[in-house]
Structure 1
Amino acid sequence: MQRVTRDDVIKAIGPVDEVTIAEIIGTGATADELAEAQAWMVNDEPLMNEGRPLASGRVRELIDILAEFESSEDEDGKAASPATDGQV
């Protein structure tokens, strides 16, 4: 299997900062492992129902990186949203 490339990362998760790309590539993961990590991120219940063991190794590393990326993306979005003054 070939290791994931910068282009693979961008195709898989969209626009992302260079640090995150470097972290993902640095895991030595393949495109299949990146896809598996994304599947766990989206919804882990079906994977567990299939009897799959919890993610480990490079897939676990990728999940941690993707979770951190999503967390920072959420914080950026919240900071940019206008205040509502408690009105709904």
Structure 2
Amino acid sequence: MTRDEIVSVLGPVDEAVIADIALTGASLEELQEALAWIDADEALVNEGHAMPSARVAKLIELLEPPEDEPGVPGAME
């Protein structure tokens, strides 16, 4: 995945976040899937979707804000 592809999905984010995502070797589709899980994990489970793959789970871990901090990690303000 290129930097531009990552930014096209996430919007402006910190360069370190972009580098971490790129290092996972994930595809653009996997990044989009990770965001879907972050936005609606219960809904996806209730709809019978398979649990995320290891690579998608890693992306979720990188992107999900800590429970005590709202917002997207690395988001530029």
TM-score, structure 1 normalization: 0.71
For structure 1, list consecutive stretches of 5 or more residues without a partner in the other structure: 78-88
2:72 corresponding residue in structure 1: 70
For structure 2, list consecutive stretches of 5 or more residues without a partner in the other structure: 66-70
Give 4+ residue runs of structure 1 displaced > 3 Å after superposition. Answer: none
Taking the TM superposition and a 5 Å limit, the aligned residue runs for 1:6-21 are 6-21=3-18
TM-score, structure 2 normalization: 0.80
Selected match of 2:29 from 19, 32, 41 = 32
Distance (Å, rounded) in 1 between the aligned partners of 2:72 and 2:42: 19
1:53 corresponding residue in structure 2: 50
Structure whose alpha-carbon radius of gyration is higher: 1
Ranked by relative contact order (alpha carbons within 8 Å, sequence separation 6 or more), the top structure is 2
**How much identity, in percent, do the aligned residues show?**
45
Greater helix fraction, Structure 1 or Structure 2: 1
